[in-house]
Amino acid sequence: MPTSVYGFIGNVERENHFQLHGSEFKPRFASAADYETAAIAFLAGPLAGRMECVRRNGDTIRFDPVTNEFAICDRDSVLKTYYRPNPAIHHQKDNTAYFKGQCKK
């Protein structure tokens, strides 16, 4: 588990991810900064029922099977993404299977 997580690599990355995934959360985040803050809190917070793995490349992936939050930070604790997976998009039987598949990459 990362002890600290930094935000996205830059403002463009933060804004792009917010535009791509911000609407997946209800209520919707008011801004890209709020979205980034929530992602950092999710990754840096306690594990408490959440699932976590570290990929061979050092990425940390965290998934909450109750809220369906999913986030990745790299080996340097830089945020890569934060979203709610959708089985209709990733074509796995459920989001837990998707998480497990992502861990094997």
User: Whole-angstrom Cα distance, residue 42 to residue 21?
Assistant: 15
| Residue 4's pLDDT band (cuts 50, 70, 90) | confident
Give how many domains the chain has, as a whole number: 1
| Residue 74's pLDDT band (cuts 50, 70, 90) | very high
Say if pTM beats, i.e. exceeds, 0.75.
yes
43-46, Cβ contacts within 8 angstroms, sequence gap of 24 or more: 43/2, 43/5, 43/71, 43/73, 43/79, 43/82, 44/2, 44/3, 44/4, 44/5
The CATH number of whichever domain residue 59 belongs to comes to 3.10.450.200
- pLDDT per position as a tens digit, 34-50: 999 999 999 999 999 99
Could you tell me the residue range of the domain that residue 31 belongs to? 11-103
| Residue 52's pLDDT band (cuts 50, 70, 90) | very high
